[in-house]
Amino acid sequence: MNPNYMQALSLCPDCRYTLLVGKPPFETQSLKDTYQKIKRNEYRIPSYVGRDARSLITRLLQSEPTNRPSPGDILEDPFITGGYLPAKLPNSCLTTAPHWKKTAVVAGGGGGVAGSGGSARRPLSHVNSGSGGVGHTAGVKEGATPSPMDDSPSDWHLHSLLAQLTACLDSKPPDRPSDQILSQECEDPASQPIFWVGKWVDYSDKYGLGYQLSDSSVGVLFNDSTRLLLGADFESLQFINRDLSEEFYTLSSYPDALYKKVTLLKYFQSYMTEHLLKAGGAAGERPIDEGVRLPHLRAWFRTRSAIVLHLSNGLLQINFFNDHTKVMICPLMSALSYIDEHKTFTTYKLSLIEKHGCNKELATRLRYAKAMTERLISRLDQGVTTPLPHPTPTPSSNPPLCPPPATS
Q: What is the pLDDT along the chain (408 residues), one digit of tens a residue?
A: 444 444 555 556 778 788 788 788 888 888 999 999 989 999 999 888 888 989 998 998 888 888 989 888 988 999 888 876 666 666 666 666 666 665 555 443 444 333 333 334 444 333 333 333 333 334 445 544 343 333 455 577 899 999 999 988 888 765 655 445 455 667 777 788 889 999 999 999 999 999 999 999 999 999 999 999 999 999 999 999 999 899 999 999 999 999 999 999 999 999 999 999 888 777 666 666 666 779 999 999 999 999 999 999 999 999 999 999 999 999 988 999 999 999 999 999 998 888 888 888 888 999 999 999 999 998 888 877 777 544 443 333 334 444 445 666
Cα angle value 156/158/162 (rounded, 5°): 115
Integer angstrom CA distances of residue 383 from 16, 147, 211, 240, 243: 32, 15, 21, 16, 11
The count of other CB atoms within 10 Å of the CB of residue 300 is 24
Rg of the chain in Å (alpha carbons): 23
Q: Helices 11-21 and 51-60: crossing angle, nearest 10°?
A: 150
Tell me the pLDDT tens digit for each residue of 208-217.
Answer: 999 999 999 9
Phi and psi (nearest 5°) for 301? -160, 165
| pLDDT number for residue 230 | 97
Distance CA 216, CA 196 (A): 10
Distance CA 357, CA 174 (A): 5
Distance CA 150, CA 234 (A): 34
Is the whole-model pTM more than 0.75? Answer: no
Contact 81, 109 (CB under 8 A): yes
Contact 365, 350 (CB under 8 A): no
The count of other CB atoms within 10 Å of the CB of residue 341 is 11
Going by C-alpha positions, the residue among 33, 336, 341 that lies closest to residue 191 is 336
Distance CA 305, CA 221 (A): 22
Handedness of CA 341, 342, 344, 348 (dihedral sign): negative
Distance CA 273, CA 277 (A): 8
Domain with CATH 1.10.510.10 in the chain: 1-80
Integer angstrom CA distances of residue 209 from 193, 220, 230, 266: 21, 6, 14, 13
Domain boundaries 1-80, CATH class: mainly alpha
What homologous superfamily is domain 150-221+256-407 in, according to CATH? Answer: POLO box domain (3.30.1120.30)
Distance CA 262, CA 218 (A): 11
Q: Is 373 exposed, middle or buried (0-12, 13-18, 19+ CB in 10 A)?
A: buried
DSSP class of 338: E
Q: In 229-263, which positions are buried (b, 16+ CB within 10 angstroms) versus exposed (e)? A: bbbbeeebbbbbeeebebbbbebeebeeebebbbe
Domain with CATH 3.30.1120.30 in the chain: 150-221+256-407
| pLDDT number for residue 10 | 55
Distance CA 46, CA 283 (A): 34
